[in-house]
Amino acid sequence: MDNQFEVIIFLAYLGFLLVIGFAFSKWSKGTRDYFISGSKATWWLVGMSVFMSGISAYTFTGNAGIAYEAGWTIMVQYIGGIFAYVLNAIFLAHLFRQTRCVTFPEIARNRFGKPTEMLYSLISVVNFPLYSGIMIWAVSSFVSVITGWPLEWLIVSLGAVVLIYSTTGGRWAVLSTDFIQGILMMGLSILITVLCLRELGGFAGMFAMIEAKGLSEQFAVVNPPELRVDGVYGPLWIAMNTLVVIAVQCSFQVATRYFSVKTGWDARKAALLGGAMFAMGTIVWFIPPVAAHLLYSDQVMAMTQISSPREASFAVVSMNLLPTGMIGMMIVAMMAASMSTLDTGLNNTCAIVIRNLVPEWRRWLGQPQPNERHELMLSRTVTIILGMGIITSALYFASVEGRGMFEVAINLLAIVGIPMAIPMIFGIFIRRIPQWGIFTGMGFGLLPSIISMLFPELLNYQTRTMWIFIGSSVGTLISMPFWRLTSVVYREKVKDFFERMHTPIQFEEEIGQSEDVLQLKRIGLFSLCVGGFVLVLLVLPNDAAGRIGIFCIGALISLIGIGMMHAARRARLRALAVFNLQKTSKNNDAT
């Protein structure tokens, strides 16, 4: 892609994200504001952030590559994600919020004790810069291949933008950018899907072309195990991938997504909104890669600059079908998916350092705890340090082309992630698990991974994952008979944890005055600005269909912004009417 319009659009969007960060900088008056928006965020704002933090650019690259190769198989895994959001809405989201914590290691401490808190904190702080560096490196290298832009420039630019708006605006900026990026990404995803269906002749034409090209068996939802090496895309592979998604989306690690809302009921609504958006995405994200296989397979396989050309399928479709100006926006949307995961993770990891690790270090050194102002300054400093670590990590992966630490990092995530999640999920529902039960669960879960590293040919991915699930579950549950040997102090601690978690939040008593109107007004204004920016692209040279697509996206985002600002105005007028009524009533009583 060599078009100055796309470069201008890309740079303008990054600049807009920086403006959002500065606009919310004064909303963070303390660390609770900085890390969880003071638990005053509305459910719709958090719900969109929940959705955006659950996806990344891998949706448009790696998973799109699976859709290109195997059709609808990947959708089963995403249906598992939808199911996880439903489970959150029914059973977990309100409990997470009602723990009244700021970080997920705080939940681990209140449930299992300080050693568990320290273990989870250290693992998270070590893993995050490494994992995030991989993410920035991966999305930047992909965009560099498509656009020809310098890889190092992309890495530094994206990392710096995420770092600046996360540092200045804290959690408020993260939530706001997630909301706006979510609307933009879904609008563009729907547009490219509609354009694909137009080229294919609708759903009927798409399925007829799949059959005509002899891809019906290859694109079956569940492939026969013998069709591919190691049974990839077969029943067990699908089942294990789906379980991984459900376990991760229901673990303590994602609990922080719900800490920003006002009450447990709001947390449930946020989970439902996230699930609804995820369901919509599942419908539209994987038709373009299938269309790429049917219409542009030669172009896709010619993308030999990346290790797996099929992962360029979504981008190839975009370059062929999107109107001028929208290609840059689609690249922005693909990066937004990763940026939303990064900014949330950056904010959460900084919170772990400040709330879990620093107080412990200060106690060991005999130093007093800082006041709120100094702690907020320290939070911004830690955010900068973590952000620099992410950029440095990404530049390293770029310099070695992803070798060495890249393989170590992704294997570490696979090995540690599920054994960390399973015992914690049991700990939410089962009281009679001793303090050390979480360590036996993690230990038993690590065994299959250790065995597979010593004997690589013994276990494939799905078999290893199955045994990790079994090991973590068994290791946790076998500790239950030893509950009666635990101390009275620990039992009381667990009792208090469950009572607190099941006690509904009284917002006005515990938090204070809501800021719903301000959120509606400000997010509505930013949405209107983005919608207006998209509508300006109508001046670019495009055919009628391209202009219609640009107009629809710009109008949709603008209408959402106008609707939010109108709702804010009505809410303000209602509040003013109530205030005047109360004032009149007091005056009448006085006379």
pLDDT (tens digit, 9 = 90+) per residue, 416-472? 778 888 898 899 899 999 999 999 999 999 898 888 878 877 887 788 888 999 999
Count of alpha carbons within 13 Å of 115, Cβ hemisphere only?
A: 6
> How far is Cα 197 from Cα 189, in angstroms, rounded to an integer?
12
- Which positions ≥6 away from 291 have C-beta within 8 Å? 196, 197, 199, 200, 206, 317
pLDDT of residue 193: 92
| Report for 10-24, 342-356, 383-397, 498-512: range of highest mean pLDDT | 498-512
| Report for 8-17, 325-334, 387-396, 569-578: range of highest mean pLDDT | 387-396
> How far is Cα 475 from Cα 438, in angstroms, rounded to an integer?
8
| pLDDT per residue as tens digits for the range 136-193 | 777 777 677 667 778 888 888 888 877 887 777 778 888 888 888 888 888 888 989 9
Average pLDDT score over the chain: 84
pLDDT of residue 211: 92
pLDDT of residue 561: 92
Residue 208 has pLDDT above 90, yes or no: yes
Question: Looking at residues 539-553, what average pLDDT do you find?
Answer: 83
> How far is Cα 424 from Cα 437, in angstroms, rounded to an integer?
10
Question: Looking at residues 258-281, what average pLDDT do you find?
Answer: 94
Cα–Cα nearest to 554, from 525, 539, 523, 532: 532
| pLDDT per residue as tens digits for the range 221-253 | 877 766 666 667 778 878 888 888 888 888 877
Percent of the chain clearing pLDDT 70 (strictly above): 90
DSSP readout, 487-532? Answer: -HHHHHHHHHHHHHHTSPP-HHHHT-S--HHHHHHHHHHHHHHHHH
pTM for the model stands at 0.88
- Of 193 and 571, more confident: 193
pLDDT of residue 407: 46
In which residue are the tokens 């004997």 written? 455
pLDDT of residue 410: 47
Residue 586 has pLDDT above 70, yes or no: no
Residue 531 has pLDDT above 50, yes or no: yes
- Which positions ≥6 away from 127 have C-beta within 8 Å? 412, 413, 416
pLDDT of residue 405: 42
Please give the single-letter amino acid code of residue 34: Y
- Which positions ≥6 away from 99 have C-beta within 8 Å? 106, 107, 110, 255, 497, 500, 501
Query: What tokens were used for 357?
Result: 């690790």
* Confidence grade of residue 583 (pLDDT, cut at 50, 70, 90): low
pLDDT of residue 404: 42
- Of 361 and 492, more confident: 492
Query: What tokens were used for 33?
Result: 């504001």
| pLDDT per residue as tens digits for the range 49-106 | 889 887 877 788 778 888 898 888 888 888 888 999 999 999 999 999 999 998 989 9
- Which positions ≥6 away from 172 have C-beta within 8 Å? 24, 27, 28, 33, 37, 41
> Rounded to the nearest 10 degrees, what angle do helices 235-249 and 461-477 cross at?
50
- Of 575 and 407, more confident: 575
| pLDDT per residue as tens digits for the range 350-395 | 889 988 898 888 888 888 777 777 888 888 888 888 888 888 888 8
